[in-house]
Amino acid sequence: MARGCTVEFDEDVVVHELSVVQALLRQIEAVATAHSAVAVRRATVQVGPLSGVDPGLLASAFEAARGSGLTATTELVFESLVVKVHCRECGVDSTVVPNRLLCGRCGGYRTTLLSGDELLLRHVELGT
């Protein structure tokens, strides 16, 4: 999957980002409804490199799936996150790339993921 590419969603093309976006829209709408808002100005999401979700496809799916309601003009903002691991052998924390989760000091593979798989709705800014 190319990151940041524009994808047209028609009946024959479904990526799992579309399922994720439908869940995201429901969560945004639930927050807005709970606060009696009539619009949502901005929604900020955290999508880690190891979440299995492509931010570019998520953005395209968001455009395709939002209707004319509360989220019609919502700006979707991504917070970028790094992949960090903790080495269970030598105890050091390192920042690594998504397919090489080895300890930055000893090179060991017995590591625990500290961050990088987040897939979260962080906050919602309501509009009027």
Partner 1 sequence: MCDNCGCNVTAGNAHLLDEAPASGGAIEVLQRLLTANDRQAQHNREHFDQHGVFALNLMSSPGAGKTALLEATIDALRDEFRIAVIEGDLETENDAARIRAHGVPAIQITTGTACHLDAHLLHRALHDLSLAELDLVFIENVGNLVCPASFDLGQHRNVTLLSVTEGDDKPAKYPVIFRTADVVLLSKCDLLPVLDDFEPARAESALRALGRDTPLIRVAARREPAVSGWLTWLRAELSEHRRQRSEYRLAPPAPRPPHAHRQPPAWLSR
What are residue 127's DSSP bridge partners?
39
Interface with partner 1, residue 61, by CB under 8 A: no
- Is residue 21 within 8 A of residue 30, CB to CB? The reply is no
Q: Count interface residues toward partner 1 (CB under 8 A).
A: 57
Where would I find the H helices in the chain?
16-34, 55-65
Element (H, E) at 59: helix 55-65
d(CA 66, CA 72): 6
Q: Should residue 3 be labelled a site residue for partner 1 when binding is judged by CB under 8 A?
A: no
The interface with partner 1 within residues 62-81 (CB under 8 A) comprises 77, 79, 81
In the numeric block, which tokens belong to residue 50?
């190891």
Which residue of 45, 59, 61, 70 would you call a contact of partner 1, by CB under 8 A? Answer: 45
85 binds partner 1 (CB under 8 A): yes
Contact residues toward partner 1 (CB under 8 A) are: 1, 11-16, 18-20, 22-24, 26-27, 31, 35, 42, 44-46, 48, 50-53, 77, 79, 81-85, 93, 98-102, 109-126
